[in-house]
Every structure is written in structure tokens, then in C-alpha cells.
Amino acid sequence: MSAVILPGTTATGQQSTLGVMGGGQLGRMFVQAAQSMGYFTAVLDPDPASPAGLVSHFHIQTDYLDEQGLAQLMQRCAAITTEFENVPAPALFTLGAHRPVAPGADAVAIAQDRIQEKAHFERCGVPVAPYAVIETAADLAGVGADLFPGILKTARLGYDGKGQIRVGSRAELAAAWDSLKNVACVLEKMLPLAAECSVIVARGWNGEMVHFPPQLNLHRAGILAVTQVFEGNMPVPSVERSISATRSIAEGMQYVGVLCVEFFVLADGSLVVNEMAPRPHNSGHYTLDACDVSQFELQVRTLTGLPLVPPRQHSPAIMLNLLGDLWFDAAGKPVTPAWSEVLALPGTHLHLYGKLQARQGRKMGHLNITGASVEEVRATALRAAGLLGIAAF
């Protein structure tokens, strides 16, 4: 990018406008960060009630590949980002030919395909779990017995545990592949896990890179449930290795933007990379309240060419993911979560995403808990979880 896109009104009286492909909660929080810095925003998303579209200056309600919609976005915006990795890469190629786009189509295309993604990790020298690519019947027949038990994952369009099936034998593998309509898949060997973690980096157009501390994550049913971030949440060697690996992965793509890489921590303390997300990430939501610069402000800064400052975490933090299940009792009857009781607890910060309908498993918001000590934050988080009906951790 040749010039920095400054916030606010320009000398010619125009307002700098930033665009985002996708109207979900990540787009909403990007829009809010951009607006707080003085930018106008435009969202392209087909849903008239999209969370980001509802709070943006402009909402272009078209499909992601609609030529007129893309033309409108380019006309309005000085630069464009994306809020989820399944935005069609061809649309980003089209936009990138006319406007600065971060992350670029090449990086997003890698993240959209587990086969390409694993190949990229290996090129960067980052360990992955033993795996096999399954695209044909011959690939299926050639799978080694040492990969069982394993998890069969679709190469494309899998997230939050979708498109994933555990298999313990060749027969189960064949049945699972048939149930996935014989699409391209990756079979990953299941390894003895001690924990899961993630690292978020932000890399600018000039190659400058900053990072947040590793986040210790707990998943339930394939969906992130709890993130804990504080000094000592992981052994120092694991912290150093995860940060180094994430920076290598970003550098290897000449990535621009915010990137999250998820890791498995094995029983012996070693790390293997799981997957990457070319965008801000659920596990980084704590940065809104526990850091002086959030992951969404860094997304704005990388997109516009503004200086990147190393973020500082000023408080220990725990993030609780709020799924639509909390809006229903055990019998399935609609209820209102105990917001008054939760918000009476010190250090609680509620973020709801403006979604108009709660559904089981749908991400409706998150609760950040901060405090002066790890013990204080953990005690408050457990009390909040109990009030909301979230399982303890």
C-alpha cells in the first residue's frame, strides 16, 4: 500500500471509509473499532439484519460475488478487509485489483483449504499432527493403520466442529467419508492433548508484526467455551514456541492483517499446529477489555497502514462464550439470562452481538472478566458461569 489511510475528514472534506466483507459479529466489532477511530464503514453482506450491517454507515445487501455489490464497495471504500475466511477468494481477488485488501486473497485461499493449509505449515517448519489427504478411493485405501484413531475433516467449509467425524477403524473411515459425500478431506491422527491454545498476531504492509500473549482455550462440542489469558497460564517454553511458530506462519504468507493460529499442547509439552484463521478470533475477544489495544483496533491499523504498537495486557482476563443455549431452560422454554446478577459482579464486561434470534449453539455474545489478580478473575468468572448455567472449568 502506497499511502496511509488516515482517520477522520480529509483536507478535501471527504470521510475515510473502510469496508468489510461479511456482516457477523467479527465484522460488527471491526466496524465499532473503526468508527471509534473516526472512520466511516461499509459492510457487504446479504443478510438485512446482519450484526455488522446494523451498526455500519453503509450496508450493501448483496451476495459476496455480486458484481454490482463489489463495485459499490470499491466505490465507497479506501480499503477493504474480511471478517470470516469463507468469503469467496475470487471476490477478494477482484477487490484487490482496485483497492488495498487485507488479508489478501492468496492467504484467505490457503486458510479455506485444510490441504493447502497443512502444506503451508510444513513449509514454515511448524509441526502438524500426522495426517493423510483423502481425495480419491485410492487415497482411502492407502491410509495407514497408524492414523487411527483419527478425525476426518472436510478440506473446505468446516468450522466450530462442523464437517468433522471421529473414526477408529478403516470401516468407520469409509462410512464417514461416504457420509461427507466423498469430498476432499484430511484424516488427522488423534494425539494425547494436555491443552489447546492460540496466538494472535498483526502484521502490517511494511512487514512490521506485533502479537498478543498466547490464549489458553477450552472447547466444548467443537466450539470455544472459555479463554484464559494471564502470565503463567502456560509454561514459558510453550509460550515462546507458539509465538515463534505463529510469526513464521504469517511471515511465510507475507500476511497483512490480524491472524490467529490454534495449537494443540501435547501431553509431553510439545506443540502441533491445528489451524489458522485469517481474521480476528473468538479467543481474542478478551482484548477488548484487558488490553490497551484490541485485536479489532489492530485490524484497523494493519488495513490502513497506521503504526502498529505492541499491545499491553493490563489485567488478567477470562472470556466466556455466550451461546444461544443460555436463552432456553432445560425444557426448551425461552428464558432471559441473569444479566443483572452477572453485571453486579465486579470486573464483568458484557458484549452482545445484536443477533435478533437465539438458537442452540449460535454465538450470541461473550462475557469478559478482568481484575487485579488471577484468583479474583477466576472466582468471578466461576460465579458468572454458575449464574448463566455454563459448566465450570
Q: At 182, which CATH number?
A: 3.30.1490.20
Q: Are 203 and 184 members of one domain?
A: no
Domain span at residue 41 reads: 17-101
Three-state DSSP state, 84: coil
User: Band of the pLDDT at 107, cuts 50, 70, 90?
Assistant: very high
d(CA 118, CA 129): 9
C-alpha cell at 86: 469463507
- Those residues whose C-beta lies under 8 Å from the C-beta of residue 275, and which sit 6 or more positions away, are 111, 114, 117, 261, 262
Closest CA to 105 of 117, 118, 95, 120: 95
Contact 205, 1 (CB under 8 A): yes
Is residue 160 scored above 70 in pLDDT? no
Three-state DSSP state, 136: coil
Residue ending a domain, among 166, 189, 212, is 189
d(CA 121, CA 275): 9
DSSP character for 332? S
Predicted confidence (pLDDT) per residue in 352-367, tens digit: 999 999 999 999 999 9
The reply to whether 235 falls in a domain is yes
Contact 158, 114 (CB under 8 A): yes
Residue ending a domain, among 101, 119, 147, is 101
Average pLDDT over residues 273-295: 98
The angle that helices 295-304 and 25-36 make with each other, rounded to 10 degrees, is 70
pLDDT over 90 percentage in the chain = 93
Average pLDDT over residues 267-279: 95
d(CA 279, CA 259): 5
Contact 108, 102 (CB under 8 A): no
315: CATH: 3.30.470.20
Average pLDDT over residues 330-341: 96
Q: Are 260 and 324 members of one domain?
A: yes
Average pLDDT over residues 363-391: 98
207: left (phi > 0), else alpha (psi -120 to 50), else beta?
Answer: left
Average pLDDT over residues 231-250: 96
Average pLDDT over residues 74-78: 97
d(CA 319, CA 343): 14
The reply to whether 10 falls in a domain is no
Contact 187, 131 (CB under 8 A): yes
Please report the pLDDT score of residue 47 as a whole number.
Answer: 97
C-alpha cell at 299: 485490524
Q: Which amino acid is at 291?
A: C
d(CA 151, CA 219): 16
Is residue 154 scored above 70 in pLDDT? yes
Indicate the pTM of the whole model: 0.96
The reply to whether 115 falls in a domain is no
Q: Are 180 and 295 members of one domain?
A: no
Average pLDDT over residues 117-145: 97
75: CATH: 3.40.50.20
DSSP symbols for 35-77:
HHTT-EEEEE-S-TT-HHHHHSSEEE-S-TT-HHHHHHHHHH-
DSSP symbols for 142-201:
T--GGG-SEEEEESSS--TTTTEEEE-SHHHHHHHHHHTTT--EEEEE---EEEEEEEEE
C-alpha cell at 111: 486458510
User: Band of the pLDDT at 89, cuts 50, 70, 90?
Assistant: confident
Please report the pLDDT score of residue 161 as a whole number.
Answer: 62
Beta bridge partners of 196: 217, 264
Q: Are 227 and 262 members of one domain?
A: yes
Q: Are 253 and 136 members of one domain?
A: no
The reply to whether 117 falls in a domain is no
Sign of torsion over alpha carbons 337, 321, 42, 87: negative
Pairing of strands 209-211, 215-220: unpaired
Output helix, strand, coil percentages for the chain, rounded to the nearest 5: 35, 25, 40
d(CA 310, CA 272): 26
Angle 366-350-308 from CA coordinates, rounded to 5°:
75
